[in-house]
Amino acid sequence: MSVNKEKEIVKKKLDYLINLYEQKNFSNLVIEAEKFINDYKNSTTAWNLLAVGYKGAGNINKAMATYESLLNKNPNVESFNLNLANIYSDLGRINESISLYKRAISLNPNSINSYNGLGIAFHIQKRFDEAIDAYKKILKLDSKNENANFNLAETYRTIEKYDEAIDFYENSNHRLSKSHQLECVYRVRSKAEFIKKLERVNLSGNLDPLMACLNTHSSIRYKYEDQNPFCLNSLDFIKKYDLKKEDGFDNDLIKKIVFFHKNSQSDYMSQSLLSNGTQSAGNLFLLKDDFIQILKDIIISKIATYRNDFKGINNGFLKNWPERNQLHGWIVSMKSGGKLDSHIHKQGWLSGSLYISLPKENNSDSGNISFSYNGGGYPTDGVIFKEKIIDIDEGQIVLFPSSIFHKTIPFYSTKERVSLAFDIKPTL
């Protein structure tokens, strides 16, 4: 066979692999890429596509191992550094991801994806000035970049520069831009401007927890009927379930969760709402450890029970359940005096907490979870908002719409409080 003919065959096969990637047919991409590599072991393009296929098919460990091997042999390939950085970031290994993003940028100073990943990593570590700088470098390259405008707005919102955040949300068509911008308007602009924007958001047809939260909060504050299409009367949609051995929840599972949290390679996430405690970074459910799969099965089973318990209810978050979704989870541990301030899960749909270790005092709400239509430092004009405290214990799981404010009541004990928090998040 001539050299030109062989090159033509190789190109066709690589084009086929790329086509599988573009179609998001990751299972077949893995199969075909493995076949290709058997014949052409030195093709970095094929190895890259194989690793992407592993990740897309849900095998994050194989994807990570493939990229680590590739980088050992090819440390100066931008895409290998970037893609492994993304995996480390997803797994909560933030410091390692930052090093790789920086290396990718040194190899390609115009790498928009690397700057975006770097900005997200800096934001997680509360290095907000550095995050802003990373996003602004993207906007110098592409002023209309969707991710950069949204993420820059998110950082400005986090540091309470709401007017700046409003401007950058305006330049983004991200699914959550309008509701997040609306929150900033609610904090610093007039009632008239807020109501005008609220009506537009409601008419857009988009559903998300923050939009619902703002509808409900403002309706109580301004004394008008709540019209939010996501979840009306959300306090009525909190459910608590006991977990038993037949569910897969036992002492062995508890020990594995606690050991993982204390010994994981993942970094802890900087969490301004959390006092005297730690929160794992990344998504726990990307890992393939056996105990993670047991946890995932338990949660998915209880979510199915929850949906069945509310079957036939004409509320938007139930009726329009996102069929393409992802389970995202993280571990929160607190020592004596620990608490988690009021917040909602803005990027979730249905949220929950699974209680692994929970110090309890007799006849006390210490360590319990409190739900309310008010929180987050929103203006109240002196109006009193309804609150609902759920008494919880070890081996229980609580599920609720992501639009509800919730917080942990402080506790005092020599024993650590450990819980697994999670969201069902729509896949964008």
Length of the chain: 428
Determine, yes or no, domain membership for 200. no
**146 and 284 fall within a common domain:** no
**239 and 332 fall within a common domain:** yes
Q: Which three-class secondary structure state does DSSP give residue 305? A: helix
Determine, yes or no, domain membership for 204. no
For the cut 60, the answer to whether the pLDDT of residue 1 exceeds it is no
Mean per-residue pLDDT, 302-313: 96
Q: CB of 346 within 8 A of CB of 210? A: yes
Determine, yes or no, domain membership for 171. no
Q: CB of 331 within 8 A of CB of 418? A: yes
For the cut 90, the answer to whether the pLDDT of residue 387 exceeds it is yes
CATH assignment at residue 265 = 2.60.120.620
Q: Which of 249-253, 256-260, 309-313, 422-426 has the lowest average pLDDT?
A: 256-260
What is the model's pLDDT at position 115?
A: 98
For the cut 80, the answer to whether the pLDDT of residue 2 exceeds it is no
Tokens, residue 26:
């990751």
Residue 22: enclosing H or E segment and its boundaries? helix 3-22
What is the model's pLDDT at position 233?
A: 95
- Going by pLDDT thresholds of 50, 70 and 90, the confidence category of residue 258 is confident
Determine, yes or no, domain membership for 169. no
CATH assignment at residue 77 = 1.25.40.10
DSSP 111: -
**406 and 288 fall within a common domain:** yes
- Going by pLDDT thresholds of 50, 70 and 90, the confidence category of residue 287 is confident
**112 and 13 fall within a common domain:** yes
* Boundary (domain end) residue, out of 123, 158, 193: 158
What is the model's pLDDT at position 421?
A: 96
Mean pLDDT of the chain: 92
For the cut 80, the answer to whether the pLDDT of residue 415 exceeds it is yes
Q: What is the pLDDT of residues 97-126, one digit of tens each?
A: 999 999 999 999 999 999 999 999 999 999
Whole-angstrom Cα distance, residue 213 to residue 376? Answer: 11
* Boundary (domain end) residue, out of 158, 176, 193: 158
**100 and 243 fall within a common domain:** no
Q: Is the pTM of this model over 0.75?
A: yes
**7 and 149 fall within a common domain:** yes
The full DSSP string for 208-265 is: -HHHHHHHHHHHHHHT-----SS-TTGGGG-EEEE--GGGT--HHHHHHHHHHHHH-S
What is the model's pLDDT at position 58?
A: 87
Determine, yes or no, domain membership for 371. yes
Mean per-residue pLDDT, 285-303: 93
What is the model's pLDDT at position 62?
A: 93
Question: Which residue range forms the structural domain that includes residue 369?
Answer: 235-426
**246 and 383 fall within a common domain:** yes
Determine, yes or no, domain membership for 228. no
Q: CB of 93 within 8 A of CB of 265? A: yes
- Going by pLDDT thresholds of 50, 70 and 90, the confidence category of residue 289 is confident
Higher pLDDT, 286 or 100: 100
What is the model's pLDDT at position 422?
A: 97
Q: What is the pLDDT of residues 39-82, one digit of tens each?
A: 888 888 899 999 999 999 989 999 999 999 999 999 999 999 99
CA distance to 175, 194, 327, 402, per residue, from 213 (Å):
16, 14, 21, 9
Whole-angstrom Cα distance, residue 162 to residue 179? Answer: 13
Determine, yes or no, domain membership for 334. yes
**281 and 147 fall within a common domain:** no
Residues 6+ positions from 149 with CB-CB distance below 8 Å:
139, 168, 169, 171, 172, 174
Q: Which three-class secondary structure state does DSSP give residue 65? A: helix
Split into its structural domains, the chain has a count of: 2
What is the model's pLDDT at position 363?
A: 62
What is the model's pLDDT at position 318?
A: 96
What is the model's pLDDT at position 3?
A: 61
Q: CB of 398 within 8 A of CB of 238? A: yes
- Going by pLDDT thresholds of 50, 70 and 90, the confidence category of residue 140 is very high
**240 and 119 fall within a common domain:** no
Residue 370: enclosing H or E segment and its boundaries? strand 369-372
What is the model's pLDDT at position 362?
A: 65
What is the model's pLDDT at position 428?
A: 66
Q: What is the pLDDT of residues 153-210, one digit of tens each?
A: 999 999 999 999 999 999 999 989 999 999 999 999 999 999 999 999 988 888 999 9
What is the model's pLDDT at position 260?
A: 86
Q: What is the pLDDT of residues 338-368, one digit of tens each?
A: 999 999 999 999 999 999 988 876 667 888 9
* Boundary (domain end) residue, out of 158, 178, 204: 158
**282 and 143 fall within a common domain:** no
Determine, yes or no, domain membership for 221. no
**268 and 385 fall within a common domain:** yes
Q: What is the pLDDT of residues 26-46, one digit of tens each?
A: 999 999 999 999 988 888 889
Q: What percent of the chain has pLDDT over 70?
A: 97
**27 and 129 fall within a common domain:** yes
